[in-house]
Amino acid sequence: MVRNGGHLLVECLIALGASKSFGVPGESYLAVLDALHDTHGKLDYVLCRNEGGAAFMASAYGKLTGSPGICFVTRGPGVTNASIGVHTAMQDSSPMILFVGQVGTDMKGREAFQEIDYRAVFGTVAKWAVEIDDVSRLPEIVARAWTTALTGRPGPVVIALPEDMLTTLTEAAPR
């Protein structure tokens, strides 16, 4: 089945057992928001007023349920607002996955609007920070993030989602 990266990401999370997510809507991950629209009762999206609050909610959810708390934020100021929640999740050993919108791959390294190097920023605060660079690897990376957040000492994982990776069509299947 052909689907875009945003739909594939949501299907992967559902397949892994995610049932709730937290976030502040942002234009940098519209394809994910579109995919979440039809998941009522499977993967609910809790609308938050501030990215920091969303990250704290995801961290608390992970701590209380033992399943990774899922958080979606937009790039730049959105993710920097969420960073304190990521730090708290690390300090509290709470499993959490923070998905962050990112500039398209064609704009990387050009100081595009609100561009941040997420591996550099979160490399010492999260268990793993990664950026999707091939839409067909989305299932592999999401599954690894889920496992990483839960194994050993639980903690947060940060996944950057370039806009074009979310809109690109793929035949990759969720796992």
| Average of per-residue pLDDT across 115-137 | 86
- Indicate whether 110 pLDDT > 70: no
- The pLDDT value recorded for residue 109 is 60
| Average of per-residue pLDDT across 124-140 | 95
- The pLDDT value recorded for residue 49 is 94
Of 37, 125, 103, 28, residue with least CA distance to 72: 28
| Average of per-residue pLDDT across 133-161 | 97
Question: What is the band of 119 on the pLDDT scale with cuts at 50, 70, 90?
Answer: confident
- Indicate whether 100 pLDDT > 80: yes
Question: What is the band of 113 on the pLDDT scale with cuts at 50, 70, 90?
Answer: low
- Indicate whether 38 pLDDT > 90: no
- The pLDDT value recorded for residue 144 is 98
- The pLDDT value recorded for residue 167 is 93
| Average of per-residue pLDDT across 156-163 | 95
- Summarised one tens digit per residue, pLDDT across range 46-85 is 999 999 999 999 999 999 999 999 999 998 889 999 999 9
- The pLDDT value recorded for residue 127 is 96
Q: Residues 6 or more apart from 22 whose CB is under 8 A from it?
A: 45, 46, 48, 54, 55, 57, 58, 61, 69, 70, 71, 72
- The pLDDT value recorded for residue 70 is 98
Question: What is the band of 90 on the pLDDT scale with cuts at 50, 70, 90?
Answer: very high
d(CA 93, CA 95): 7
Q: Tell me how crowded residue 105 is: count the other CB atoms within 10 A of its CB.
A: 16
Cα 169 off chain centre by: 19
CATH architecture assignment, domain 3-164: 3-Layer(aba) Sandwich (3.40)
- The pLDDT value recorded for residue 112 is 55
Q: Tell me how crowded residue 1 is: count the other CB atoms within 10 A of its CB.
A: 10
Sorted by where each begins, the domain ranges of the chain are 3-164
